[in-house]
Amino acid sequence: MDDRSWMYRDSPQGLWRMDYCNGVQGFINFATSIPINFTGGGIRCPCRKCQNKSISIQML
Partner 1 sequence: MMHLLHKGFMENYQYWYAHGEVYVSERRMEETVVRSTSSASNMYEAANDNTNPYRNMVMDAMRMNQGNVSQCPIVEEEPNIDAARFFDLLKDYDEPLWDGCTNHSKLLVVAQVFTIKSDHGLSEAGYDKIIEWARSMLHEENRLKENFYVVKSMMKPLGLGYQKIDMCPNFCMLYYLENAKMTECMTCGHSRYKPRISGGKTLVAYKKLRYFSITPRLQWLFMSPRTAEHMTWHQAHHAVDGVMVHPSDGEAWKRFNNVHPHFSVESRNVHLGLCKEGFNLFGSFAAPYSCWPVILIVYNLPPGMCMRPEFLSLSTVIPGLSSPGQNIDVCLRPLIDELAQLWSSRALTYDILRKQNFLMRAALMWTINDFPAYGMLSG
Per the CB < 8 A criterion, the answer to whether 20 and 8 are in contact is no
Q: Measured from the CB of residue 41, what is the shortest distance to partner 1 in angstroms? A: 15
Residue 34 in contact with partner 1, rule: CB under 8 A: yes
Among 19, 42, 51, 55, binds partner 1 (CB under 8 A): 51
Phi/psi-derived region of residue 52, left when phi > 0, alpha when psi is between -120 and 50, beta in every other case: left
Per the CB < 8 A criterion, the answer to whether 39 and 31 are in contact is no
Residue 55 in contact with partner 1, rule: CB under 8 A: no
Binding site for partner 1 (CB under 8 A): 1, 4, 7-8, 11-13, 16, 20-21, 24, 27-28, 30-31, 34, 36-37, 43-52, 56, 58-60
